[in-house]
Amino acid sequence: MITRDSFAKEYDKFAKALTRRVKAYLRDPNAENVHRLRTATRRLQAAFALLPKTTRKQNKAQKAMSRIRELMKVNASVRDQDIILSKLSMYKENPRYERLIEDLRKSRKSHLEQAKELALSVQKNPGPRVKPRDLSEPVLRRRYDKVVRKLGSKITSELPLVREDPSKMEELHVVRRDCKQLRYVLEMGEFSRPSKPLVALRTWQDLLGTIRDHDVMIAHLRRLNKSPEIQLALNTETESRNNSYRKFVEASRENPVSRFAAKP
């Protein structure tokens, strides 16, 4: 059950977390701080979606969330490069890999310049503040139920396609994104212990995240000129990706999220 007091407390926590993560990111945009900033922005976006329509549509709030979305978009490239750099470091050192790593570091640096400008803008205005007295509990609960129902329906309709076809990379990415948002929304409710759908969402998110990392690496390797070293890395990533996909198919055999889906 979500209440206006619990929601306002969670929203404030997410807003403050975003401010902290932006500061840490600007101080040192290493891979961990990039990842933590992305998580903080995702959580705040999920909370923002539950605000009353009048609050969400305010010009100031719209501009703040637009900057956050832009930061997420630019930082996605940085995150992908961090994934590739991390994976390349696991292969034995040779001149071929060293050149790849150096080129990626240069590219990452150029993307960071734009991301830092956006992060400074977000730091100045992370979005609207929320107080319990500003919220109507019945309106909040209706909005909460609507968002949960919409996401539950999307995930339930998307699952059959991605479970039957491992090549649906972008569709898998969409499912992962929707699982994240539904998970973050559900976590804003009060419960004594995690529900079965919440446990499933966390498991799916982890597996889909691993698959996504493999897909990012595989796509990068396929753009390179073929060599024995590149082919070895490509074969290794593809095999690992297939194993992770099989685990996801098995884990998603039962779909407890369907209980949230809108009835036809």
* DSSP string for residues in 12-40: HHHHHHHHHHHHHHHH---HHHHHHHHHH
Residue 29, pLDDT score:
94
Contact 244, 210 (CB under 8 A): yes
Better pLDDT: 104 or 94: 104
What is the span of the domain harbouring residue 78?
Answer: 1-125
Residue 153, pLDDT score:
96
Phi, psi of 188 (to 5 degrees): -80, -15
pLDDT grade for 191, boundaries at 50, 70 and 90: low
Of the residues 97, 125, 153, which one is the last residue of a structural domain? 125
DSSP for 78-109, please give it: HHHHHHHHHHHTTSPP-HHHHHHHHHHHHHHH
CA 58 to CA 146: how far, in whole Å? 21
> Highest mean pLDDT range out of 51-65, 83-97, 198-212, 250-264?
198-212
**CA 23 to the chain's CA centroid:** 20
Say which DSSP state 225 is in.
P
pLDDT > 70 fraction of the chain, expressed in percent and rounded: 96
- Classify burial at 26, counting beta carbons within 10 Å of its beta carbon; exposed 0-12, middle 13-18, buried 19 or more: middle
Measure CA of the first residue to CA of the last residue in the chain; give whole Å.
24
User: How many contiguous H segments (helices) and E segments (strands) does the chain have?
Assistant: 9, 0
CA 237 to CA 241: how far, in whole Å? 6
- Classify burial at 192, counting beta carbons within 10 Å of its beta carbon; exposed 0-12, middle 13-18, buried 19 or more: exposed
Co-location of 119 and 25 in the same domain: yes
Q: Residue 225: is its pLDDT beyond 90?
A: no
Better pLDDT: 89 or 183: 183
Tell me: the pLDDT tens digits for 105-142?
998 998 898 889 889 989 888 788 888 888 999 999 99
CA 209 to CA 139: how far, in whole Å? 34
Residue 92, pLDDT score:
61
Q: Residue 192: is its pLDDT beyond 60?
A: no
Instruction: State the average pLDDT over residues 52-71.
Output: 90
Residue 190, pLDDT score:
62
- Asked if the structure places residue 130 within a domain, the reply is no
Residue 95, pLDDT score:
73
CA 16 to CA 20: how far, in whole Å? 6
Contact 26, 123 (CB under 8 A): yes
- Asked if the structure places residue 263 within a domain, the reply is no
Co-location of 121 and 94 in the same domain: yes
pTM of the model: 0.90
Tell me: the pLDDT tens digits for 232-247?
889 999 999 999 999 9
Residues belonging to the chain: 264
- Asked if the structure places residue 131 within a domain, the reply is no
Tell me: the pLDDT tens digits for 9-47?
999 999 999 999 999 999 999 999 999 999 999 999 999
- Asked if the structure places residue 49 within a domain, the reply is yes
Co-location of 143 and 65 in the same domain: no
Of the residues 125, 160, 191, which one is the last residue of a structural domain? 125
Buried b (16+ CB within 10 A) or exposed e, 152-185: bbbbbebbeebbeebeebeebbbbbebbbbbbbb
Of the residues 101, 125, 149, which one is the last residue of a structural domain? 125
Domain count, the chain: 2
- Asked if the structure places residue 74 within a domain, the reply is yes
Q: Taking all residues of the chain, what is their mean pLDDT, rounded to a whole number?
A: 90
Instruction: State the average pLDDT over residues 217-234.
Output: 89
Buried b (16+ CB within 10 A) or exposed e, 121-143: bbbeebbbebeeeebeeeebbeb
pLDDT > 90 fraction of the chain, expressed in percent and rounded: 66
Residue 264, pLDDT score:
57
Co-location of 207 and 88 in the same domain: no
Half-sphere exposure of 227 (CA within 13 A, CB side): 10
Instruction: State the average pLDDT over residues 73-90.
Output: 91
Q: Residue 96: is its pLDDT beyond 80?
A: no
Co-location of 16 and 90 in the same domain: yes
